[in-house]
Amino acid sequence: MRRLMAPALLAVALLAPMSNAQPPEWTGAQTVSVELSNFKFTPATLTLQHGVVYRLRLSNTSSGGHDFVAKEFFAGASIAPEDRAKIRNGGIDVDGKETVEVRLVAGQPGTYKSHCSHFMHSSFGMTGTIVVR
């Protein structure tokens, strides 16, 4: 019997990483909030953990529209199917006084840039960084 233990443990060790391939538990998402205002993201830096499920909540507190563009970050993340349509050209539009939520799993560790693509907004300071650890 003892001889069977090693192959059994090996099988468990090999199977364990496969659990990552299962659909994420979107209901258990941790909320991370970013406020969009004239002309900044607050906080400017988001730090996320690779593989963790988040609800990215973007709240625009100003009356004019903004967006949150992070092409590389969104391209590398797994986005909840119901939220995919909210991301266009690597960004999320957030109208004045609106809040938009997108559930996602952060992708590969790295440092990603974010900005508002509205005319001149990034040069006024609407830029940010997403750090995935």
115 binds Cu ion (CB under 5 A): no
Under the binding rule (CB under 5 A), the answer on residue 55 touching Cu ion is no
Q: For the CB of residue 70, give the shortest distance to Cu ion in the complex, in Å.
A: 14
Given candidates 46, 53, 66, 92, which one binds Cu ion under the rule CB under 5 A? 66
Nearest residue to Cu ion, using CB?
116
Enter the DSSP assignment of 103.
Answer: E
* Residue 121 sits in the site that holds Cu ion (CB under 5 A): yes
Q: By CB under 5 A, is residue 126 in contact with Cu ion? A: yes
> Which lies closer to Cu ion via its Cβ, residue 71 or residue 118?
118
Residue number, 30 or 89, with CB nearest to Cu ion = 89
Owner of token pair 């609106």: 98
Stretch that binds Cu ion, among 1-9, 19-27, 84-92, 109-117 (CB under 5 A): 109-117
**Strand-pair partners of 59:** 35, 99
Minimum Å gap between C-beta 100 and Cu ion is 14
Q: Which residues of 15-46 are buried (b: 16+ CB within 10 A; e: fewer)?
A: eeeeeeeeebebeebeebebebeebbbeeeeb
SS3 43: coil
Tell me the CB-side half-sphere exposure of residue 17, using CA atoms within 13 A: 3
Strands 78-79 and 99-105, sheet pairing: antiparallel
Binding site for Cu ion (CB under 5 A): 66, 116, 118, 121, 126
